[in-house]
Chains A and B, each alone.
Chain A
Amino acid sequence: MIIFVLQARCIAAVVADTQRTRFLVGTLSLREENEIHLLQIGDKTGALAFDGLYTHPSEIWGLSACPFDVSILSTVYASAGEFGAAIWKLPERARGAANTPLQKLASLDGHTQRIKCTLWFPKGKHHQIVSIDAENLYVWDLDPSGKPAKELGRVSSGLQQMAGGCWSPHDVYIVATACGTSLKCWDLRTMKEASTVDQAHAGQVRDLDYNPKRQHTIVTSGDDSKVRVWDLRMSGMPLSELPGHAHWTLRVQYNRRYEELILSAGTDAMVNLWYVPPPAEGKSKSSPKISDPLVRSHHEHEDSIYGIAWSARDPWVFASLSYDGNVSLSFVQSFLRNILLSLRFTSTTSLKQFAKS
C-alpha cells in the first residue's frame, strides 16, 4: 500500500502514541509549501490514511517525534542557505481547515553548519535534546515554559563529517554518532570521546542504531552499501556484516521489540528486512540458523529511500518513504513472526520447520 505526499526525506513513528500506529512525514519541496503529514493506520481498513496536515515553514531534512508527548516533534530544516532546528507542537485540529500551521515551542539556535538530526532523550520525560551538525554535537535543555532552548554543552568531531547519531537507550550519557568513515560514541558528562570504531565503513557512515536489548551492540550503514553490526567492546571486527544494498545504504533500524530484526533502506530503492540472530551466549540457547540473513526485499519504491520507521505500537509493521513521496506500509511475514514468538518461549524451534509450514 502506497500513499503519495510531496517529495520527502523524513518519516518518524509517533513513539509516544501506543494506541495507534501513526507516522509523521516531513516534505522536502524547494518551491512549494512544506508540510508535516500525520499518517495513521485505520482501525477498520488496516491501511494508511491521512490524519492531519500541518504546514512547516521550510524544507524538512530531519524529523523526530517526542518520546513522551504525542503532539510534540522536532524538525531539522533548511532552505536556500538558511538552516535550523526547532521543536514544534501539533496544534488542535480545527474542523475543516486543511492546513494548520505548526506551533513552534523552541528553536535550537547557534549551529554554524547544516544540521543533520536531533535526538530526544531516550528514557522518560526529560527535557534534554541533542542536535548534530556536520562538525559539532550540541546538548540542549528545553524549557517547557517556552523560552529558547539553553545550550548545555557541545563537542566537536574535528575534521570528520558527522551524518547522524543515536542516543544510547542503555546509558543516557552516551550518544553514538556516524563520524566520517568511523563510529564514535561521546560521553555527555565529560564531553569527550567514549569509544570509537575506526573504518566502520569504506565510505561515509550514514546511519546507526543501538540494539534495544544489548548495551554495546550497534548497527551501522554506509556509502559502501554494507550493513554492519558492531560490539563496541570489540571494535576490530564487526559481529556480522550484511551485504546491504546495491548503492548507498542510508537508513538502518533495529526493531524495538525483536532485536533479531534489522530494517535497512538505500538509494537503490529497496527496503531490506534482515534476520540477524543474536550472538550465542553459551551453548544452551541455539537460535535457528539462516543461511541468508536477508528475509525479504521490498520493491515497492521507484526512487531512493531516505526514511524508514518501525511502528511504535505493532512490532510487525514498518513504513518506508522514498524521495518521490511514496510511503509504503509493510508487514513482517507471518512465518518470521511465528519464529520470533516461539523463540520467546522455546529456544529449540527450527526456522526451517516454520518456513516449510
Chain B
Amino acid sequence: MAEDLDEKARRVRELLSSFYKSDESDSGVSARRRDTLLQINTKGFEPERYMASLVRKTNLPTLLKKHVEMAAEIKNLDSDMQMLVYENYNKFISATDTIKVMKDNVAGMESNMEQLLEKVTAVRTKSDNINASLFERRGRIEELNGTRSLLRKVQFVFDLPKRLRKCLKEGDYAQAVKFYVGASPVLETYGSSSFRTCKQESEEVIATISKRLQAKFLADSEPLPGRAEAVALLQQLKFPVDVLMDGFLTSNMKHLLELQTLSHKSKSPDDSKKFISEFTQTATAFRSIFPTGESRLNEAAKDLLDKYFANVNVSLQPEAGSLSAAELISLLKSLSADVAKMHEVMPEAGFIDGAIQAVESAVKQHVNHKFKVLYAQVTGALSDIHSPKQEQAKDQQKPLLLSLENVQNLIVNGGLEVLKDLTQLLDDSVDFLVSWRDAYIDLVQSGFQEFFGSLVDHFISLSLASATQGEGSDQRLGSPAPGFVLLLSRLSTFIEQEGVPRITEAVGDSFIGGSLGDRPAFLPSEICRAFRAAAEKFLRQFIDVRSRKLSIMICKSITTPNWLQYKEPRDVRMFADLLLDEVKGMEGEVKQVLEPGKSHRRSDSAGSSSSTRSSNTTRGDSRSSRLNNRGKTHLLERDVAKLFKQRVEIFTRPELTQASVISMVVKIALKSFQEYVRLETFSRCGFQQIQLDTQYLRDPLREVVDDDNVVDFLLDEASKTKLSVCAAAAERCTDPTPLEQAVLEKIVHTKREKRLDDEATKVFI
C-alpha cells in the first residue's frame, strides 16, 4: 500500500517538475539531502531489493527509525498533493466551460460559410458564361476604337488650315505653332500624297505666321518678352535662328560702332556713356531674346572690340604724326573705362585680355613712333648742316656753332621730352599698363638704346661719306666736310659726356626696374663707349683732312721752285698767306664747335727748351770732334746723348679742345714742312727764302698753338734748334748764310702790315 502511494507520489512529482521547471532544483536538493532515499525517486527503483538491502544492512532500531521517517514523508506527500488539487480545481472547471462555449459558436459559423460558398460558385458560373459569350467580339471592338482615333486625327489635320487661320486672326501665334508642330509629323509623312492641299494651305498660313513673328522680333517697339517668345516660336518652327541672331547682331553692332566712332571723334564723355549704355542694352536684349546664343554674342562683341581698337589705333597715327602722351592717356583711359564696363556686362568675352593687348600695341607704337620722330629730327638737322643749304646760313656769323647748339638741344631736350612724355604714361598708370609695367620700362629703355645706337651708326656713315668727298676733292677748299666731321666729333663727345648721363638720370628717375632679360635694356656705358670711340675717330679724321690740306700746300711750295738757282728773296711767298688763311679758316670752325680748353702756354717752356738746346749744342760739339777719333768717342757720345735725351713730344694724343686740335694740325703740317725741306737741296738764297717764310709764319702760328715750345721747336731760326724747319733747310743748304736780322724783320713786318690791311679791307667790304 505504501509502495503504491510512493509510486503515485513520485509520478505526481515528476509530472509537476516537468510542469514547473523551477521546482526541479529544490527537489534535487532534497534528494541529495536524503541520499539513502535517493533511489526511491528514480525510475529503476526496485522496492524488493531496496527492502532486502535495507533489512540486510541495518539493524532494527535503525529500521524502525527509517520506518517512522518514511511514514512521515508519505504523510507529507499526501498533504502536498491535496493542496495542489485544491489549488487547480477552479481552473479546470473554467477551462471546461470555455471549451463548451466555443463548441456552440463554431456550430453557428459553419452554416454561414456554406452560404458564402454557394454564392461564390454562382458568380463564377455567371462570369464564365459572359466571358464565353463576349470572346468573339473583343478584337473587333478594339479595331474600331483605333480607327476612331485615327479618324479624329485626320479630322484635326484637315481642320488645321482653318484653325491656323483662326489663330492667325486672333493673333494667337503660340497656339497656331503648337497645332502646326503637333500636326507636322503627319504632314511630313503623308504630305506628299493625301494631305497635299492641306499641307500647302497650312504651310502658307505658317509662312505668314513666321513672317509676322519675324516682324515682331525685329520690331524694336515690341516688349522684350514678346520678342523672345517670337524667337522661341520661330525656333520651334525650325526657322534658322542663327540668321536672325546674325542679323540682329550685325545691325546692332554696326550701330554701336557708329556710336563709338562718333564718341571717339568727339571725345566727349557723354557719347562714350551713350555707347556703353547702348552696348549694355544690346547685350541684355540679346541675352533675353536668344538665351542660347551667348557664344555668338561673345564673338560679335569681340569683333566690335577689335574694331574699336582699330579705331583707337588709327587715331594714334594721325596725319600730323605727333600725338602727345596726354592724348594717348585720355584715349587709353576712356578705353579702359569702356572696356571695364563692357567686361561687367560680358565677363566671358575676354575684353580685358584684348584690351591689354591693344593697349600694349598702342603704347609700343607710341614709344616707337616717339623715338622715330626724335631720330628723324636729329638726322634731319644734321643733314641740313651737311647739305649745301649751308649757303643760306652763310650770312650768319657762326653757322656751325648754331647748328651744333641746335642739334645738341635737339638730342637732349628731345630725349628728355620723349622721356617726360613717356613718363606720363607710367605716372598716370592706365589700368592696363600696371600689368606689364616692366615690359614697358624695358621698351622705353631699349628704345633709347636703339636710338643712340642708330645715331652712332648714322654719324659714322655721315663721316665716311664726307671723308670720301674730302679725299676726292681737295681743291674744294671751302667744302664743309672737315668742319662737319669736327661737329660730329664734338656732338659725339657731348652725347657721351652730357646727353647720355642726363638721359640716364632721367631714365633712372622714372624707369627703374624692368629688365625682363638678364641685363637692363638701356646700357649707358656701352653707348658712351661707342660715342667716345666715334668721337676719337672723327677728331682724328678732322685732323687728318685738315693737316693733309696744309701739307699739300706746303709740298707744292717746296717742290715747285728750283732752289739751287733761286733769286734773292724779296718778300714772303704767297703760300704763307694761304697757309695762314687756311689755318684761320680751320680755327674758325674749331672755335665754333669746340671749347677753348686750358692752354699750358709757357707753363714749362723755359726749362725744357733750354735743355733741348743744350743737348743739341753738346751733340754738335761731339760731332765735330768725332771725325778725328771716332772709335773712341762714339761710346761716350752715346752716353752723353742719353744724359741729355729729352724728347720734345711733337705728336701727343689730341684732346677735344680748340687749342689741342689746332696745334695738332699745325704741328703735323710743320713736321711735313720739315720733311719736305729735308728732301731738297738749297742755295743760299733758297735757304734765306725758307728762313723768311718760317719767320713770317712763326708768330701767327704761335698764337694758335697751345705749346710755344713746339712751334719754336719746329719754326725756330736756323742756328738754334736743330730739328726746326729752318735748321733742316740750313742743313740742306750749300751755303747756309742767314739773312741779316734787320732785313728779315723788315720784310716780315711790311708783309704783316700788308696782310692786316688786306684783312681790314676784306672785312670792310
Contacts and interface: CB of A to CB of B under 8 A. Distances in A.
Nearest to B653: A246
Contacts of A303: 723
Interface stretch (A78-86, A123-131, A151-159): A78-86
Contacts of B722: 324
A223 B548 CA distance: 9
B668 A80 contact: no
A247 B734 contact: no
B678 interface: yes
A80 B731 contact: no
A248 B548 contact: no
Interface in B630-681: 630-631, 634, 637-638, 641, 645, 647, 650-651, 668, 671-672, 675, 678, 681
25 contacts: A3-B638, A4-B623, A4-B634, A4-B637, A6-B623, A7-B731, A30-B731, A50-B630, A78-B681, A80-B734, A203-B548, A223-B548, A224-B544, A246-B650, A246-B651, A247-B651, A247-B668, A247-B675, A248-B675, A268-B671, A299-B647, A302-B645, A303-B723, A304-B678, A324-B722
A3 B678 CA distance: 22
B306 to A, nearest CB: 53
Contacts of B645: 302
Contacts of A79: 681
B551 interface: yes
Contacts of A268: 650-651, 671
B27 to A, nearest CB: 126
B579 interface: no
A191 interface: no
A30 B732 contact: yes
Contacts of A302: 645, 647
B267 interface: no
Given A3-B634, A224-B548, A30 B681 contact: yes
Interface residues of A, number: 30
A356 interface: no
A304 B675 contact: yes
Contacts of A30: 681, 731-734
Given A223-B672, A246-B650, 4 more contacts: A30-B733, A299-B647, A302-B645, A303-B723
Interface of A: 2-4, 6-7, 30-32, 50, 78-81, 199, 202-203, 223-224, 246-248, 267-269, 299, 302-304, 323-324
9 tightest Cβ-Cβ pairs between the two chains A and B: A246-B651, A247-B671, A81-B564, A4-B634, A267-B675, A2-B638, A268-B651, A4-B637, A80-B734
B476 interface: no
B626 interface: yes
Interface residues of B, number: 31
A50 B631 contact: yes
A287 B762 CA distance: 62
B734 A31 contact: yes
A140 to B, nearest CB: 25
Contacts of B457: none
Contacts of B471: 199, 202
A203 B678 contact: no
Nearest to B638: A2
Interface string B557-600: 00000001000000000000000000000000000000000000
A223 B645 CA distance: 27
A30 B677 CA distance: 14
Contacts of A299: 647
Contacts of B638: 2-4
Interface string B731-762: 11110000000000000000000000000000
A4 B626 contact: yes
Main secondary structure of the interface of B (DSSP, over half): helix
A199 B471 CA distance: 10
A269 B551 CA distance: 19
A203 B551 contact: yes
B452 to A, nearest CB: 25
Contacts of A78: 681
Contacts of A50: 630-631
A56 B726 CA distance: 27
Nearest to B470: A202
Contacts of B675: 247-248, 267, 304
A80 to B, nearest CB: 6
A287 B605 CA distance: 48
Nearest to A61: B679
Nearest to A304: B675
Contacts of B637: 4
Nearest to B664: A246
Interface in B92-125: none
Nearest to A31: B734
B678 A323 contact: yes
Contacts of B678: 304, 323
A50 B634 CA distance: 11
Nearest to A32: B627
A338 B90 CA distance: 149
Nearest to A299: B647
Contacts of B731: 7, 30
A300 to B, nearest CB: 9
Contacts of B623: 4, 6
A336 to B, nearest CB: 26
A269 B544 CA distance: 19
Contacts of A31: 734
Contacts of A223: 548, 551, 672
Contacts of B668: 247
B330 to A, nearest CB: 54
Nearest to B678: A323
Interface in B228-286: none
A111 B363 CA distance: 77
B595 to A, nearest CB: 24
B250 to A, nearest CB: 65
B8 to A, nearest CB: 139
A302 B612 CA distance: 11
Contacts of A7: 731
Contacts of B634: 3-4
Nearest to B622: A4
A36 B681 CA distance: 21
Looking at B647, B650, B675, the one whose CB has the most chain A CB atoms below 10 A away is B675
A152 B675 CA distance: 34
Contact of B548 (A4, A202, A267): A202
A284 B634 CA distance: 52
A247 B672 contact: yes
A306 B548 CA distance: 21
Nearest to A248: B675
A303 B623 CA distance: 16
B617 to A, nearest CB: 14
B681 A80 contact: yes
Interface string B702-734: 000000000000000000001100000001111
A250 to B, nearest CB: 9
Nearest to A134: B559
Looking at A7, A50, A246, the one whose CB has the most chain B CB atoms below 10 A away is A246
Nearest to A3: B634
Nearest to A225: B544
A324 B731 CA distance: 11
Interface string B600-640: 00000000000000000001000100110011001001100
A302 B731 CA distance: 17
Given A30-B733, A80-B734, A248 B651 contact: no
A354 B736 CA distance: 54
A2 B645 CA distance: 13
Nearest to B467: A202
A81 B630 CA distance: 30
A33 to B, nearest CB: 9
Contacts of A32: 627
A340 B752 CA distance: 60
Nearest to B627: A32
A56 to B, nearest CB: 15
A80 B564 contact: yes
B478 to A, nearest CB: 20
B608 to A, nearest CB: 14
